[in-house]
Amino acid sequence: MSTDPKTVNLIRYASVCLLALAWGPAMACENLAVRDAWIAQAPPQAMALAGYATLENRGDRALRIDAVSGADFGEAMIHATREENGMMQMRMLDHLDVPAHATVTLAPGGMHLMLMQPSRRLKAGDTTILEFHCGKQTTAATFTVRPAR
């Protein structure tokens, strides 16, 4: 029995659509835009790098980022910085909320991503992809390594 070419094309088209549904924009953190994403260059022996970005929620509902990951790092955490008795202290946040129509900035001296155990040397100009997880949804963003400022 031979399948006519039209049927084959239809099957192919249908599976492409299914893939798009499974892996496409429907799976992204709803209305999350990641801008100005960068990682501060660190000495080659550094066991952790700091990542920064502007996170914008363009939607009507609050977003909760509950995890961050990246293939180039053993672990990624969300950190807050605060001064205590003249010392800068970092503390791990369990999650990061971005209210509806609001922007949260991760910047030096404030909240940042702590990227642990880099698996390769990241120099200024290199890029790496980090994923922001909101429950079952994920938004990937390209981070560029820049000299620390």
Per-residue CA distances from 92 to 38, 78, 114, 142 (Å): 20, 6, 9, 23
By CB under 5 A, is residue 79 in contact with Cu ion? yes
Q: Which stretch binds Cu ion (CB under 5 A): 4-12, 13-21, 71-79, 95-103?
A: 71-79
Residue nearer to Cu ion on the CB measure, 71 or 90: 90
- Tokens standing for residue 142: 């390209």
Q: Which residue from 13, 45, 27, 40 is spatially nearest to 115, judged by alpha carbons?
A: 40
> What is the Cα–Cα distance from 20 to 38, expressed in whole angstroms?
29
Q: How far is the CB of 78 from Cu ion (least distance, A)?
A: 9
**Among 28, 67, 104, 114, interactor with Cu ion by CB under 5 A:** 114
Q: How far is the CB of 90 from Cu ion (least distance, A)?
A: 4
Q: How far is the CB of 76 from Cu ion (least distance, A)?
A: 11
